[in-house]
Structure 1
Amino acid sequence: MASEDVKASESAVEKIVNLAEEAKLARQEIRPTSHAVISICKSLVAGGVAGGVSRTAVAPLERLKILLQVQNSHSIKYNGTISGLKYIWRTEGFKGLFKGNGTNCARIVPNSAVKFFSYEQASKGILYLYQQQTGNEDAQLTPLLRLGAGACAGIIAMSATYPMDMVRGRITVQTEKSPYQYRGMVHALSTILREEGPRALYKGWLPSVIGVIPYVGLNFAVYESLKEWLVKTKPLGLVDDSTELGVVTRLACGAVAGTMGQTVAYPLDVVRRRMQMVGWKDAASIITGDGRSKASLEYSGMIDTFRKTVRYEGFSALYKGLVPNSVKVVPSIAIAFVTYEQVKDLLGVEIRISD
């Protein structure tokens, strides 16, 4: 009897030990490992650096684009890319070319970090569902699925940082002759909240959401699909035996992706900027130098903005600033993608977006 009791006790202890081991393994599976956390942080850092570097490189063109988007067609100050940059230089100096860039970087660094990381996570989730649906564990993302992952990433990143974009737009259109000056990002935020309310920080959000789907979606989809095609076909010796694309080739892929995305989404960007100016009592004088155009700044929503812009200024007004934006977007998107991958290599992150 004693021996049977001992065996029963040993069996009970063994079961408890086994249960403890199973619980430990379960907790390890649920909790992210320290390696995974570090990898996530490195990925976010890489995305943030990519955004900051790419936007600072094209800051003068970014400011000119916004000024062209919101200026009234009856009082032209900024006429074309080269002449517009010269006018800013002549009237505001070197600092004028980079006005709003600090706020832009404060927005774009977290935006870019969230966007790249969200794309990677969305890609993994969509790929898993696609493999489960098709029953093929070796299935890869199609261009359409990449478009969906990019759209998800764009919506998440844009929504998280939209108030910063709103403030950046207001600061960017200021000139030295503006009757009222936002002294900086914090002052602009507090002033808008006090005078216009919290909802003002999300003016233009809807066209932004609609526009970010083709813009960011096409950026990622075209970039990744073009890289995949080059690796498979190896045209003109652009890919070496290790199937690695060179920096110049990746820059070219990013340039093509950026051009396609911004051309499709640009009218929504113009509408967004104009909606962001609504409610700002000094917007008319900042844009035109007097109060004559204030009525044209009164928009009740996205459709009304489209309708009034086309009615009073013509369909071409939806593409105001497209040329400097094209000049800006091509290097900006290209630099962002390549910087992201290079920084991840430097930080030792094993998985890149192309993997």
Structure 2
Amino acid sequence: IFTNPLEIVKIRLQVAGEITTGPRVSALSVMKDLGLLGLYKGAKACFLRDIPFSAIYFPVYAHSKLMLADENGHVGGLNLLAAGAVAGVPAASLVTPADVIKTRLQVAARAGQTTYSGVIDCFGKILREEGPSAFWKGAAARVFRSSPQFGVTLVTYELLQRWFYVDFGGLKPSGSEPTPKTRISDLPPVNPEHIGGYRLATATFAGIENKFGLYLPKFRSSGTVAAQTKSSS
């Protein structure tokens, strides 16, 4: 829905160099020429490409992360990049036929070229005129573009999620570093039998640390130090 207008403008600009006559083609002129509805030409083929791409990419990425995790379940930055790049190979290549149809629908047909009225019409004409192999044109180029693109995208997302993560559900992102031990919760209460006051405050601060990833100053009250000294003696 959001990328189809950008796709059709991009394609029109990329083939503009083949047109030697007429006014200069720009993004603004393409949008004016197509209009609002024209910007969604080939949207069905875009759905046929992008939805299966995501359905293939993210499960392969999730399994690749598990395979590249170390013995502690942690996945480093380079392994995240590798998992994203590996997942892009089947996802980008297997949806190439839909990408070919989308491009044929969105490119501006010149005199003498075949025109298409829709996805089914485009599929049938390509199959009859060029054969099945035409649907796989540019598959290697798509892999070389999408694999690094989504590898960098996912490693950036994963690392930002770890660095700026706010934990509201008690779970860390898959493959992230183990949660450090809370420092305040490790402090003993002044009186082990005391159920309020300092013990209650300790639990409250520990919860804040766990939920929001904060690190509050470590301190010991004089009562705690005295209690520990008395018990040790």
TM class, shorter-length: 0.5 to 0.7
Distance (whole Å) between structure 1 residues aligned to residue 77 and residue 143 of structure 2: 21
Which residue number in structure 1 is paired with residue 5 of structure 2? 60
Label 1:178 to 1:223 Cα distance change in 2 as closer, same or farther (>3 A): farther
Q: 2:32 aligns with which of 80, 86, 94?
A: 86
Q: CA deviation at 1:150?
A: 0.8
Q: 2:106 aligns with which of 162, 168, 172?
A: 172
Which residue number in structure 1 is paired with residue 60 of structure 2? 118
Distance (whole Å) between structure 1 residues aligned to residue 12 and residue 133 of structure 2: 24
Distance (whole Å) between structure 1 residues aligned to residue 97 and residue 33 of structure 2: 29
Label 1:60 to 1:84 Cα distance change in 2 as closer, same or farther (>3 A): same
Q: 1:181 aligns with which of 115, 119, 123?
A: 115
Q: CA deviation at 1:59?
A: 2.0
Q: Deviations over 1:228-275 (max 9, x none)?
A: 1212xxxxxxx4666899xxxxxxxxxxxxxxxxxxxxxxxxxxxxxx
Q: Deviations over 1:27-73 (max 9, x none)?
A: xxxxxxxxxxxxxxxxxxxxxxxxxxxxx123212210111112216
Q: Deviations over 1:108-127 (max 9, x none)?
A: 11111111111111111222
Number of aligned residues: 170
Amino acid corresponding to residue 224 of structure 1 in structure 2:
E
Label 1:148 to 1:99 Cα distance change in 2 as closer, same or farther (>3 A): same
Amino acid corresponding to residue 96 of structure 1 in structure 2:
G
Structure with bigger gyration radius: 2
Amino acid corresponding to residue 143 of structure 1 in structure 2:
G
CA contact (8 A) 1:174 1:181 kept: no
Which residue number in structure 2 is paired with residue 163 of structure 1? 97
SS at match of 2:74: coil
Q: CA deviation at 1:77?
A: 4.9
CA contact (8 A) 2:85 2:148 kept: yes
CA contact (8 A) 2:93 2:140 kept: no
CA contact (8 A) 2:64 2:87 kept: yes
SS at match of 1:144: helix
Which residue number in structure 1 is paired with residue 75 of structure 2? 141
CA contact (8 A) 1:78 1:87 kept: no
Q: Deviations over 1:151-180 (max 9, x none)?
A: 111111112111111111111114698864
RCO higher in 1 or 2 (8 Å CA, sep ≥ 6)?
A: 1
Q: 1:70 aligns with which of 4, 7, 15?
A: 15
Structure 1 residue 109 corresponds to structure 2 residue 51:
yes
Structure 1 gap ranges (5+): 1-55, 132-136, 232-238, 246-355
Q: 2:37 aligns with which of 95, 106, 110?
A: 95
CA RMSD of aligned residues (A): 2.6
Amino acid corresponding to residue 220 of structure 1 in structure 2:
L
The normalised TM-score by structure 1 is 0.44
Amino acid corresponding to residue 126 of structure 1 in structure 2:
L
CA contact (8 A) 2:126 2:134 kept: yes
Matches within 5 A, 1:219-230: 219-230=153-164
Q: Deviations over 1:3-41 (max 9, x none)?
A: xxxxxxxxxxxxxxxxxxxxxxxxxxxxxxxxxxxxxxx
Amino acid corresponding to residue 87 of structure 1 in structure 2:
D
Q: CA deviation at 1:86?
A: 2.2
Amino acid corresponding to residue 97 of structure 1 in structure 2:
L
Distance (whole Å) between structure 2 residues aligned to residue 102 and residue 62 of structure 1: 13
CA contact (8 A) 2:46 2:98 kept: yes
SS at match of 1:183: coil
Q: Deviations over 1:176-199 (max 9, x none)?
A: 988642122122122112111222
CA contact (8 A) 1:166 1:202 kept: yes
The normalised TM-score by structure 2 is 0.65
The answer to which structure has the higher helix fraction is: 1
Give % identity: 32
